[in-house]
């Protein structure tokens, strides 16, 4: 199986904001734990990971300022399943692309694939996955083409056919990406929603209605925290800060709510008192440290 890769380890320095962010789990991050960078995807971000029983606790730190830092918890089984499937899909698609990679002068493509295969095999030892059960992957230009064709049907007043075109994407991630990106005005996308009432389109409609100042219409689509977050984000982006604060009160997830309130604080510090009325603890600590 080859030599075991060493994962970098580290400790989080005690910090009032991060302590408030992670709550009663923060103490575990003071002990040595795995620290995983995102590499070329974003070298500014580190993931600090602590395992307790069947849970992973993750502090995503450094970013471009502490206001963007995030704490979350993930079920270990969910993480193993998604990591195994993603790793196997990447390996499968790299092997299919080997000739193309070499043609475009990626001279070490075979070496990269061999190393990836070793790493994937280690993951699959913990969580076996049947490669034939995995959805297909599509090249970005293929997904773009699906979006263009579906958009043409929307423009022609045929949302049912647009939905059929989008459904040709059998990979759920690519499908969601296409639905989020498909060009169209709000009315066209509302008609599309009648045929594919998927979560990602509902969230997008909430955002677009709020962006155009129709908050009541946005709230008709805002069924959960993600939809409310999208609505608030549109309001912040159009300088409707007091309205964003009012709607942010309804968000139950304290990190999603915190992101909106911190964004509002940066753009409208004069609304600090209004923000603090509804802020989760980590937002109160952040504002207190900045004031």
User: Taking the C-alpha atoms of 112, 113, 118 and 121 in order, what is their torsion angle to the nearest 10 degrees?
Assistant: 140
> How far is the C-alpha of 133 from the C-alpha of 216, rounded, in Å?
42
* Beta carbons within 8 Å of 180's beta carbon, 6+ residues apart: 200, 201, 204
> What tens digit of pLDDT does each residue of 225-281 get?
999 999 999 999 999 999 999 999 999 999 899 999 999 999 999 999 999 998 999
Per-residue confidence (pLDDT) for residue 40, from 0 to 100: 62
pTM of the model: 0.81
- The predicted pLDDT at position 222 comes to 95
What are the domain boundaries of the chain?
Answer: 10-68, 77-133, 136-197, 207-291
pLDDT band of 2, cuts 50, 70, 90: very low
- Look up tokens 């263009």; give the residue: 148
The pLDDT, as a whole number, for residue 41 is 65
- The per-residue pLDDT for range 80-120, each reduced to its tens digit, is 888 888 888 888 888 888 888 788 877 788 888 888 888 88
Q: What percent of the chain has pLDDT over 70?
A: 97
> Is it the case that residue 140 has pLDDT exceeding 50?
yes
- More confident of the two residues 264 and 142: 264
Residue 3 has pLDDT above 70, yes or no: no
């Amino acid at each position: 199986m080859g030599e075991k890769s060493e994962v970098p380890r580290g400790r989080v320095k005690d910090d009032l904001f991060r302590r408030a962010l992670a709550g009663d789990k923060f103490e575990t991050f003071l002990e040595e734990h795995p620290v995983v960078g995102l590499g070329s995807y974003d070298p500014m971000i580190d993931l600090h990971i602590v395992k307790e029983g069947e849970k992973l606790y993750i502090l995503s730190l450094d970013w471009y300022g502490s206001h963007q830092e995030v704490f979350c918890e993930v079920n270990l089984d969910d993480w193993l399943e998604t990591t195994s499937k993603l790793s196997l899909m990447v390996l499968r698609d790299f092997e299919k692309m080997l000739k193309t990679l070499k043609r475009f002068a990626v001279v070490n493509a075979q070496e990269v694939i061999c190393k990836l295969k070793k790493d994937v095999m280690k993951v699959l030892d913990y969580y076996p996955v049947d490669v034939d059960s995995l959805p297909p992957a599509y090249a970005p230009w293929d997904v773009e083409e699906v979006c263009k064709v579906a958009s043409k049907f929307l423009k022609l007043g045929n949302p049912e056919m647009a939905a059929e075109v989008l459904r040709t994407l059998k990979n759920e991630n690519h499908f969601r990406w296409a639905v989020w990106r498909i060009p169209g005005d709000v009315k066209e996308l509302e008609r599309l929603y009648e045929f594919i009432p998927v979560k990602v389109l509902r969230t997008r409609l909430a955002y677009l209605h709020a962006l155009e100042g129709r908050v009541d219409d946005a709230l008709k689509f805002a069924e959960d925290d993600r939809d409310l977050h999208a609505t608030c984000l549109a309001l912040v982006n159009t300088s409707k800060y007091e309205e964003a604060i009012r709607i942010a009160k309804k968000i139950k997830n304290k990190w999603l709510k915190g992101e909106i309130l911190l964004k509002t604080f940066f753009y409208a510090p004069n609304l600090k008192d209004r923000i603090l009325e509804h802020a989760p603890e980590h937002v109160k600590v952040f504002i207190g440290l900045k004031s």
